[in-house]
């Protein structure tokens, strides 16, 4: 098939991540060279699009039968392969990060990119998408509501590489979503407390601050804990703590209303839960502040004035 020389507004929007209205404005102001077809729709020269946006467009083929396009216009966009590379500007806009943060990601090899003959960044679109799925860009803050807590918070804990710190008023028994090999019923899933201890065995530092669990759950907790090295999994009971915080790898924090319970942070797995709201953030100031709060409680800085310290008795199951 012959290679297409012109693409439409929808295709340019798909390739660049911009809104179609923005593309049309570029055409109206002659910033992006274009012409109108018989129906009045904008057509853009592929070479001009590549030059303006700093992208490489691969394998755009002309449909052999124009009549087929008239019958189903969507086929035209189906013939456009997604670009392999983005410009530095488009990649930074997608990741919502500064130029310095962006170049730091490249230096660390997290984002794959190279310079072209004009010394402009050509960024692997695949690596940008992979990074955006696995991590929040620096300084980004995301609102989490109701059942989104499981996906946004629990799955971040599962991805932890070095440390997990949890503060919760209530820590109740609940299970993770069972995998296909485990089964389909709720009871087939791994108990969350057991999963945390497994993370500790893998070398992830796990620290938990919570109130005393119920007697039935305490027995289960004790059973798992007896199999642990205390240096790998640590916890303390604090009856005064009402904060709900999860800190992952000292770089990301959840701050909100959800406890570590089936109806709180585990809601939506099998049954509806509470109305919960919180934020997930990588803002360094917020992460630092909640980490300081965590260690203030962990180091018992307020115990002398608490009047309930005798009820905590850390690590006494």
What is the reported pLDDT for 183? 53
Report the percentage of the chain scoring pLDDT > 90.
9
What is the reported pLDDT for 300? 84
Q: What average pLDDT values come out for the chain (317 residues) when binned by 10 residues?
A: 70 77 80 82 84 66 37 37 73 74 76 83 84 63 84 84 92 76 63 83 88 76 68 82 92 92 76 85 87 89 76 55
- Single out the residue of 125, 133, 127 nearest to residue 105, CA to CA: 127
Give residue limits of the domains in the chain: 6-78, 85-134, 141-312
Domains 6-78 and 141-312 equal at CATH topology level: no
209: tokens are: 């601050």
Beta strand residue intervals within 6-93, DSSP E: 6-8, 34-36, 42-45, 85-87
| Domain made up of 6-78: CATH architecture | Orthogonal Bundle (1.10)
Token pair 């949890």 is at which residue? 166
What is the reported pLDDT for 255? 95
3 state SS of 10: helix
Q: Does domain 141-312 have CATH number 3.40.50.300?
A: no
- Cα–Cα distance, 101 to 92 (Å, whole number): 9
- Cα–Cα distance, 5 to 44 (Å, whole number): 8
Token pair 């297409």 is at which residue? 4
């Amino acid at each position: 098939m012959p290679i297409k020389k012109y693409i439409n507004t929808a295709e340019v929007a798909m390739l660049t991540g911009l809104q179609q209205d923005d593309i049309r404005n570029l055409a109206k102001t002659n910033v992006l060279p274009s012409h109108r077809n018989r129906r009045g729709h904008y057509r853009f020269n592929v070479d001009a699009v590549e030059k303006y946006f700093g992208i490489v467009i691969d394998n755009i083929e002309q449909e052999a039968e124009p009549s087929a396009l008239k019958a189903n216009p969507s086929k035209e966009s189906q013939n456009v392969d997604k670009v392999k590379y983005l410009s530095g500007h488009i990649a930074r806009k997608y990741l919502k990060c500064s130029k310095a943060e962006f170049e730091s990601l490249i230096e660390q090899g997290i984002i794959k990119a190279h310079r072209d003959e004009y010394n402009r960044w050509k960024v692997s679109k695949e690596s940008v998408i992979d990074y955006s799925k696995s991590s929040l860009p620096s300084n980004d803050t995301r609102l989490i509501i109701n059942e989104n807590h499981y996906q946004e918070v629990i799955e971040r804990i599962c991805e932890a590489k070095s440390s997990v710190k949890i503060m919760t008023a209530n820590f109740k028994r609940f299970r993770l979503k069972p995998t296909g090999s485990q089964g389909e019923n709720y009871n087939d899933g791994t108990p969350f407390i057991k999963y945390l201890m497994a993370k500790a065995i893998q070398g992830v530092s796990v620290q938990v601050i919570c109130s005393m669990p119920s007697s039935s759950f305490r027995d289960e907790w004790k059973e798992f804990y007896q199999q642990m090295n205390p240096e790998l999994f640590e916890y303390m009971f604090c009856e005064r703590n009402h904060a709900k915080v999860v800190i992952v790898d000292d770089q990301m924090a959840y701050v909100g209303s959800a406890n570590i319970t089936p109806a709180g942070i585990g809601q939506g797995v099998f049954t509806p839960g509470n109305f919960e709201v919180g934020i997930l953030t990588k803002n360094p100031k917020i992460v630092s502040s909640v980490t300081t709060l965590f260690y203030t409680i962990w180091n018992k800085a307020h115990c002398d004035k608490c009047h309930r310290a005798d009820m905590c008795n850390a690590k006494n199951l």
